[in-house]
Structure 1
Amino acid sequence: MKKTIAHTILGMLALSLATAASAQVKPEDQIKYRQAGYRFMSWNMGKIKGNLEGSYNKDQVAAAADAIAGIANSGMGALYGPGTDKAIGSVKTRVKPEFFKEGENVGKLAREFNAATNDLAKAAAGGDAAAVKTAFGKVGESCKGCHDKYRESE
């Protein structure tokens, strides 16, 4: 219980700091930073998938799951500031305009994603590959739910 409260407080603090910091970050840099965060999460998802499909190393999985949850809970929403809804020079974005118009639904999807990543980190800390596989699938579903609605295809 204490850990959950601490995570909630840290998440709220990170969001407030990120929101204040985003006001000082140029829109093109916000796009670059959020893309880097998603790439890093994707890389860690790949590490977990590799472990689930091959030789399972619980320490590698736990580290990757913690990294994913850490980034998911870091306040990345602040990197969707004004002017980040379209390409800026050579900095491209695949976010659909609806993302910026449907804040309530985007917030719901973000909360679901954060909860799924936290559940993955908790499952990974327990070391049970079957529990990780289930939680990993839920994170993937959460990613897909947002991508399908708010991300342009390549």
Structure 2
Amino acid sequence: MKKIVLGSLSAIALATSLNAFAMDAEEAIEFRQAGYKFMAWNMAKIKAMAIDGDVEWNPQQVQAAANSIAATANSGMGALFIPGTEKNVGNTKTRVKPEMFTDIEGVTEVGMAFHKAATELAAAAETGDKATVAKAFGAAGQSCKGCHDKFRMD
């Protein structure tokens, strides 16, 4: 729980610091999309080893991928949802629903679930146990789905 609270405080601090950099809406959308794509790439690596078995199980690679996901998830990416990013900007398209900017309780719920699941995935990866990783991977995937279902347009 301390990590979640600290992560939230970090997000607030990051949001404040982003304003100092005068990030525009287009950059914010591009950065957050890059973060989510990076996490998806790492999720795919874990899935290939722990779920599908398409790639030989490698605990070190799984741990590196899980740590990357947790670090990105807990980096304060919420600060990239600044005013003006609820719609397409220039050539940069977004699939975020406008509710992402008005349903603070819902956003907090899915965000905290995602932070927790990403952190637990990294902890599971530290064990090196494939079954433990697979279970945590499933929970992480469900946390992603929870946000997509509520706040992402298809």
Matches of 2:46 and 2:69 in 1, distance apart? 10
Matches of 2:122 and 2:38 in 1, distance apart? 16
Unaligned runs of 5+ in 1: none
Q: Does residue 1:65 correspond to 2:66, yes or no?
A: yes
Deviation at 1:99, TM superposition (A): 1.1
The one-letter amino acid of 1:56's match is: W
1:91 aligns with 92
Deviation at 1:8, TM superposition (A): 5.3
SS in 1 for 2:88: coil
Contact 1:22–1:81, Cα closer than 8 Å, also in 2: no
> Which range is displaced more, 10-19 or 123-132?
10-19
Deviation at 1:98, TM superposition (A): 1.0
2:12 aligns with 16
2:57 aligns with 56
Q: Does residue 1:131 correspond to 2:132, yes or no?
A: yes
Q: CA RMSD in A?
A: 1.5
Matches of 1:84 and 1:127 in 2, distance apart? 39
Matches of 1:37 and 1:17 in 2, distance apart? 18
SS in 2 for 1:92: coil
Contact 2:4–2:116, Cα closer than 8 Å, also in 1: no
Unaligned runs of 5+ in 2: none
Matches of 2:66 and 2:33 in 1, distance apart? 19
SS in 2 for 1:93: coil
1:104-119 alignment, distance < 5 Å: 104-119=105-120
> Which range is displaced more, 50-59 or 122-131?
50-59
1:122 aligns with 123
| Fraction of identical pairs, as percent | 49
- Count of residues in correspondence between the two structures: 149
Contact 2:121–2:137, Cα closer than 8 Å, also in 1: yes
1:41 aligns with 39
Deviation at 1:14, TM superposition (A): 3.2
Matches of 2:30 and 2:134 in 1, distance apart? 30
Matches of 1:105 and 1:50 in 2, distance apart? 31
Contact 2:63–2:122, Cα closer than 8 Å, also in 1: yes
2:141 aligns with 140
Normalising by structure 2, report the TM-score: 0.91
The one-letter amino acid of 1:17's match is: A
